[in-house]
């Protein structure tokens, strides 16, 4: 009876945020950042509202930035108990290109250096803080040949997410024991964790900020981060591990594009663990991703009503349509 090999999370699966204006959101992520609009669907828990997905050509796990379209929600503030920065990876030589592009499209940005790596900081159309980090790997990336940003400079997917917590001890414990993360390094109030093979797409930064303010789940904030797991069996094992670690974990939920479990880490941030498959090509071919309203089979009965109530979305097709 050999000791069980501790499971590891390979990295980020997707990040989900709240937008107050799906059209401005699409204009920004496609028209400015050059991600592909890979899926137009609905929030399965609030099915009168959009859930839209951006990513690489296929929305490969590790590249999918997604939004709930909740226009009637308040716009409050990001803060502790939340993911406060979403970082994308771009090739090390591409920051000059990106700075020029953002200038042309009138998106404010500034250059920073964190953990000895250069990055551009900017905000999306809803005010969510983003970083373009000059450290990339092409391992998991499927380029979008018709994208508005040249492949040489295109975003490769997520680099990392940053959580801000009022207190880190319990989170540190969960991450480094049950969840298999390890501390990579530390700088000021930020502790950098890595999982899986480490490097871009598997980095989690945690800022301890007891002074607050506390974040509010609202427009312009990150709703949750999903971590990858290869398949449903591994996901069930994660569920057991997390229950044993004292987390209150949901049952497995079929999201159609992947299966998911959810729990809050001790600092209050909503974590999801999502399977790599089946992915966004489950109901659309790679060429037609994002072109229609995609609904899981059990929501098809609502299609006529949804066509009536959901506002149309126009996906920009050129590099110059980003800024309104």
Q: Which residues bind Zn ion (CB under 5 A)?
A: 16, 226, 272
- Dist CA 242 CA 174 (whole Å): 9
- Note whether 17 and 83 are within 8 A (CB): no
For residue 247, CA distances in Å to 161, 171, 266 come to 21, 11, 8
Closest to Zn ion by CB, 52 or 226 = 226
The residues facing 293 across adjacent strands are: 40
**Residue 41 corresponds to which tokens in the numbers above?**
């669907």
Q: How far is the CB of 263 from Zn ion (least distance, A)?
A: 12
Closest to Zn ion by CB, 32 or 225 = 225
- Dist CA 98 CA 7 (whole Å): 37
The residues facing 206 across adjacent strands are: 163, 191
Closest to Zn ion by CB, 219 or 225 = 225
Closest to Zn ion by CB, 51 or 192 = 51
Q: How far is the CB of 134 from Zn ion (least distance, A)?
A: 27
Q: How far is the CB of 253 from Zn ion (least distance, A)?
A: 10
Q: How far is the CB of 13 from Zn ion (least distance, A)?
A: 8
Q: CB-side exposure of 150: number of CA atoms within 13 Å? A: 7
**Residue 259 corresponds to which tokens in the numbers above?**
């299966």
Closest to Zn ion by CB, 22 or 154 = 22
Q: How far is the CB of 15 from Zn ion (least distance, A)?
A: 8
* Distance between first and last Cα of the chain: 63
């Amino acid at each position: 009876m050999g000791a069980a090999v501790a499971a590891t999370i390979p990295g980020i699966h997707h990040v989900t945020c709240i937008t107050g204006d799906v059209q401005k959101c699409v204009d920004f992520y496609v028209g400015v950042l050059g991600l592909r609009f890979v899926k137009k669907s609905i929030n399965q828990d609030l099915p009168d509202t959009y859930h839209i997905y951006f990513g690489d050509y296929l929305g490969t796990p590790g590249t999918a930035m997604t939004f709930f379209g909740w226009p009637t929600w308040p716009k409050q503030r990001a803060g502790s108990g939340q993911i406060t920065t979403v970082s994308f990876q771009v090739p090390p030589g591409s920051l000059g290109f990106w700075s020029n592009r953002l200038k042309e499209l009138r998106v404010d940005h500034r250059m920073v250096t964190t953990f000895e790596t250069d990055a551009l900081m900017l905000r999306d159309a809803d005010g969510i803080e983003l970083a373009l980090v000059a450290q990339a790997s092409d391992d998991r990336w499927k380029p979008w040949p018709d994208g508005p940003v040249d492949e040489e400079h295109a975003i490769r997917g997520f680099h990392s997410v940053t959580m801000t917590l009022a207190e880190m001890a319990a989170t540190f414990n969960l991450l480094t024991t049950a969840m298999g993360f390890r501390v990579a390094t530390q700088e000021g109030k930020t502790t950098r964790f890595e999982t899986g093979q480490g490097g871009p797409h598997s980095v989690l930064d945690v800022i301890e900020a007891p002074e607050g303010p506390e974040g509010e789940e609202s427009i312009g904030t990150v709703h949750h981060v999903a971590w990858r797991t290869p398949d449903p069996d591994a996901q069930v094992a994660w569920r057991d591990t997390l229950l044993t670690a004292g987390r209150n974990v949901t049952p497995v939920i079929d999201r159609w594009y992947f299966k998911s479990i959810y729990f809050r880490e001790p600092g209050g941030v909503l974590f999801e663990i999502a399977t790599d498959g089946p992915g966004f090509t489950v109901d659309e071919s790679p060429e037609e991703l994002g072109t229609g309203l995609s609904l899981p089979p059990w929501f098809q009965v609502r299609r006529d009503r949804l066509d009536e109530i959901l506002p149309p979305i126009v996906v920009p097709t050129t590099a110059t349509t980003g800024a309104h």
